[in-house]
Amino acid sequence: MKHPKEEKTFIMIKPDGVMKGLIGEVIKRIEQRDLKIIALEMFQPTFEDVDNHYPKKEEWITRLGHKTLSTYEQYGYDLISDFGTNKPEEIGPEVRKWLIEFMTSAPMVKMVVQGVHAVDVIRKISGNTLPYKADMGTIRGDFSIDSPALANKEKRAVMNIVHASETPEEAEHEIKHWFGDKELFSYHRFGVDM
């Protein structure tokens, strides 16, 4: 019988995770948590693939700009000298471009994971978006120390090893986007659902 909180989620090992040799480590942590990997593939995304992955809504893009603005304020950096503007709606698209450049810089590994509370549990295993804030014991906390203070100064995205869907709705959209009509597999896991 299917549990009411049985979910599918999407997780992707980003270029820094692949380049640090963390593919096995990430998979291990997912399986260790009694979650089931039902699709898995290494691939090299195109600019367009990633462009369609990140929201194009003005609101989301401006939010990225706001985040950068507050990092600059917090550390006393000079926005105008780095960006030529201090408007979040003009900085946002620049940060979005860094994200796409980063996400296309090496192959990635994409997965669909199934299990009870899969969306929340995968976010928990991943840790805070910003590695320097992520708890020890999470993927980001254990294997990275990156921060916007570093990344923004170097004009690149924060390298945080994995991407994981935030809600079941986002997961559905991302699974469709990254796997299309490809097969999601079905099997039993000893000790979990048999």
Q: Which residues are catalytic?
A: 163
Q: Which two tokens stand for residue 98?
A: 């860094």
Both tokens assigned to 7:
């979910």
Task: Check binding of 88 to ligand ADP (CB under 6 A).
Answer: no
Among residue numbers 21 through 50, which ones bind ligand ADP (CB under 6 A)? none
Nearer to ligand ADP, 9 or 152 (CB): 152
Q: Does residue 91 bind ligand ADP (CB under 6 A)?
A: no
Among the listed residues 9, 148, 161, 178, the single contact to ligand ADP using CB under 6 A? 148
| Strand runs labelled E in the chain | 6-13, 36-43, 108-116, 162-164
- How many whole angstroms separate alpha carbon 114 and alpha carbon 160? 22
Q: Report the alpha-carbon distance of residue 95 to residue 66 in Å, rounded.
A: 10
Q: Which stretch binds ligand ADP (CB under 6 A): 4-12, 73-81, 86-94, 151-159?
A: 151-159
13 binding ligand ADP? (CB under 6 A): no
Name every residue whose Cβ is closer than 8 Å to that of residue 175 and which is 6 or more positions away in sequence: 8, 10, 112, 184
Strand partners for 142: none
Please report whether residue 151 would count as binding ligand ADP according to CB under 6 A.
yes
**Of residues 95, 100, 171, 175, which one binds ligand ADP by CB under 6 A?**
95
Position 99 contacts ligand ADP (CB under 6 A): yes
Sheet holding 36-43, edge to edge: 36-43, 108-116, 6-13, 162-164
105 binds ligand ADP (CB under 6 A): no
Interface positions with ligand ADP (CB under 6 A): 67-68, 71, 95, 99, 129, 148, 151-152, 157-158, 160, 163, 166
